[in-house]
Amino acid sequence: MTGAEDAASQGVGRPSDTSEYDYIVVGAGSSGAVVAARLSEDRNVSVLLLEAGPGAGSPILNIPAAARYAFNAKAYNWDFETEPEPQLGGRRLWQPRGRVLGGSSSINGLVYLRGHALDYEGWAAAGAGGWSYAHVLPYFQKLETFVDPSNPYQGTSGPIGVSTPTPVNPISQAFIDAGAEAGYDLTDDVNGYQQEGFGRFPMNAAHGYRWSTARAYLKPARERQNLSIQTGCEASKIGFDGKRAVAVRYSRNGRQQIARARFEIVISAGPFNSPKLLLLSGIGPADQIRQHGIDVIADAPGVGENLMDHQLIAIQLECKLPVSLNGRTGMVSKAMASLRWLLRKDGLLASNHFESGAFVRSEAAVRFPDIQFYLFPVGVAEGSNDFSREHGFQVQLSPQRSYSRGWVRLRSANPSDPPRILFNYMSEDRDWIEMRNAFRLAREVIAQPAMDAYRGRELSPGPEVVSDGEIDAHVRANMHSSYHGSGTCKMGTDDMAVVDPECRVRGVDGLRVVDSSIMPLIPSCNLNAPSIMIGERASDIIRGKQLPPSNLAFHVDPHWKTRQRPGSPLRPALKA
């Protein structure tokens, strides 16, 4: 037995089967699939990619409009749940995460957003040197191919297909027009020069298909002889030789196996499972680790801390005209849409139907947008996930830079037990202020003349919910997650940083974390595109490469200190 194999056996238990690779990547999601594919481009190195879930061949994982079904499918989902949330009446909130090749990129809502340039300036200021907007923009461009590109901010030759749909539902266009009537800017590319304003939302779907990292990166790479993709493999521990990570223990079909790494191990298991695996391996707050009878390899107090998310809640309305998607949910309509997709790869099934939205600032003196709106042209029955029988639509509103922080911790030393998760939502006063403002700003837009033909009764929360206290009570009872967990292995240089700006786990050697858990601050957007970008940039860092930084400019309202939107010379926080 070699020294490394002996250390691996001591660190993770005696294996029933062993193998050796140059690199091991744990998790084939939005980031891990990218890392494995990019590292395996060098035919001189061998790469093992371990994924706990199955392959991504099911049709529901490839049809954009089937996202709702993919999202709820137990076969592809870790199906986590939070601890009782103190500020939300003790409710436990569902936390779905992709457990399939492509990870959450295979089951999410396909909203393709990068975030604001100042999000990444904030990363650099927080200690993540080399992750400023100028440094990350080339990697966003590298990963994408825009259908019909229209500006220099968009990528034209990357693996991920991206399209910006022309609104096919008149409510979607009316919402954009209403934003203009309310005095907001219009933007022709929320991922380009100007995020702020109302416009169309791109999706990681093109030519009728979802473009997950499984389709975009792993499908072209899987025939490479130096890349081994193994599904149904749940990692339980990293083995160490002293302070150097040398092996991964995992179970496959009930059999315990060990894979050894000659060079490095990359953990890309997501915001919940990446800190869980570190903790199971002895990396984290020493007192927590010892409570579970685990030997401490490195006392790292930041592991599992700094958990962030985007809160989400909707205003639901009756639609006066029969144009919403509620009229397309019957068996005949579904059959016709399915036939059209099979024959032409277009129509209703080729869209995620989040066609329009906005990024706005909650009040004057906020430098860049901290509220996101989505228009979704379908009504949902109150207290249910089922579509309502009557025509309706909803405006979803989501504060983007919550001040609250939560944590992820071990439930036990048993790798099969899910982690404990607490977001601690709405624990900071500022979060309540932003949520109230978001409600009032959204209602103001909905009330514009452009929405008159469609706007019926407000069904939820209802016109009687007006005061701060009434809005707060509705939020406590109904707010849920955007499923954008992040930050639990944050990148930086301070004492709570888990990885350095090159994604290396501090305090040990040969181990990196590459996924949304390393985000020091949550970006103002959905997190799938930033997670893919992290995979691209980290792959180059591992290979000793770097794309030259961009010199493209970005927009910030020059009068942000004194106005909430361009059409209002001075608009402080709205009052009841």
- Residue 87 one-letter amino acid: Q
The reply to whether 218 falls in a domain is yes
Contact 408, 424 (CB under 8 A): no
CA distance 88 to 323: 35
State the DSSP H helix or E strand holding residue 221, giving kind and residue range, or none if neither.
helix 219-221
The reply to whether 459 falls in a domain is yes
Instruction: Tokens for 153, please give them.
Output: 């901010």
Distance of CA 197 to the CA centre of its chain: 21
The reply to whether 72 falls in a domain is yes
Contact 48, 247 (CB under 8 A): no
Contact 55, 76 (CB under 8 A): no
What pLDDT score does 17 carry?
61
Domain end: 478, 494, 509, which one?
Answer: 478
Pair (538, 440) in one structural domain: no
DSSP category for residue 543 = T
Contact 175, 451 (CB under 8 A): yes
The reply to whether 461 falls in a domain is yes
In angstroms, the Cα distances linking 119 to 58, 114, 134, 297 are 35, 10, 12, 33
CA distance 164 to 166: 7
What pLDDT score does 347 carry?
85
The reply to whether 272 falls in a domain is yes
Pair (325, 223) in one structural domain: no
Mean pLDDT per 10-residue run, the chain (576 residues)? 38 54 98 98 98 93 90 94 98 97 97 98 98 98 95 97 86 96 97 97 95 98 96 98 98 94 98 98 98 98 98 96 82 82 86 94 97 92 68 96 98 97 98 98 98 96 97 97 98 98 98 98 98 98 97 97 84 45
CA distance 490 to 483: 18
Pair (342, 391) in one structural domain: yes
Q: What is the DSSP string of 296-364?
A: PSEE-TTTT--BB--EEEEEEEEESSTTSGGGG-SHHHHHHHHHHHHHHS-SGGG--S--EEEEE-SST
What's the CATH code of the domain at 373? 3.30.410.40
Conformation bin of residue 136: beta by default, left when phi > 0, alpha when psi is -120 to 50: alpha
Pair (27, 43) in one structural domain: yes
Pair (332, 188) in one structural domain: yes
- Residue 403 one-letter amino acid: Y
Would you call 167 helix, strand, or coil by DSSP?
Answer: coil
DSSP category for residue 147 = S
CA distance 411 to 421: 9
Pair (123, 170) in one structural domain: no
What pLDDT score does 10 carry?
35
Catalytic residue, from 391, 480, 484, 559: name it: 484
What pLDDT score does 281 carry?
98
pTM (predicted TM-score): 0.95
Pair (456, 520) in one structural domain: no
What pLDDT score does 18 carry?
64
CA distance 157 to 269: 27
Query: Counting Cβ atoms within 10 Å, is residue 335 exposed (0-12), middle (13-18) or buried (19+)?
Result: exposed
DSSP category for residue 237 = E
For 372-388, b where at least 16 C-beta lie within 10 A, e where not — what string? bbbbbbbbbeeeeeebb
Pair (370, 459) in one structural domain: yes
What's the CATH code of the domain at 79? 3.50.50.60
Q: What is the DSSP string of 247-290?
A: EEEEEETTEEEEEEEEEEEEE--HHHHHHHHHHHTTEE-HHHHH
Helical pair 32-39 and 528-542, crossing angle rounded to 10 deg: 30
What pLDDT score does 393 carry?
95
Pair (33, 180) in one structural domain: no
Instruction: Tokens for 106, please give them.
Output: 């295979």
For 536-560, b where at least 16 C-beta lie within 10 A, e where not — what string? bbbbebbeeeeeeebebebbebeeb
Pair (502, 541) in one structural domain: yes
The reply to whether 450 falls in a domain is yes
Secondary structure tally for the chain: helices H, strands E: 14, 24
CA distance 99 to 216: 17
In this structure, how many other beta carbons lie within 10 angstroms of the beta carbon of residue 343?
9
Helical pair 468-478 and 429-446, crossing angle rounded to 10 deg: 100
Pair (114, 51) in one structural domain: yes
In this structure, how many other beta carbons lie within 10 angstroms of the beta carbon of residue 302?
21
CA distance 322 to 302: 52
- Domain housing 378: 165-200+311-399+427-478
Please count the structural domains in the chain.
Answer: 2
CA distance 107 to 62: 9
CA distance 329 to 340: 15
Q: Is-catalytic flag, 484?
A: yes
Query: Which residue in 485, 8, 514, 20 sits closest to 267, CA to CA?
Result: 514
What pLDDT score does 381 carry?
64
The reply to whether 558 falls in a domain is no
In angstroms, the Cα distances linking 232 to 20, 27, 74, 338, 519 are 19, 11, 14, 31, 27
- 36 φ, ψ (degrees, to nearest 5): -65, -45
CA distance 313 to 315: 7
What pLDDT score does 575 carry?
45
The reply to whether 559 falls in a domain is no
Pair (286, 299) in one structural domain: yes
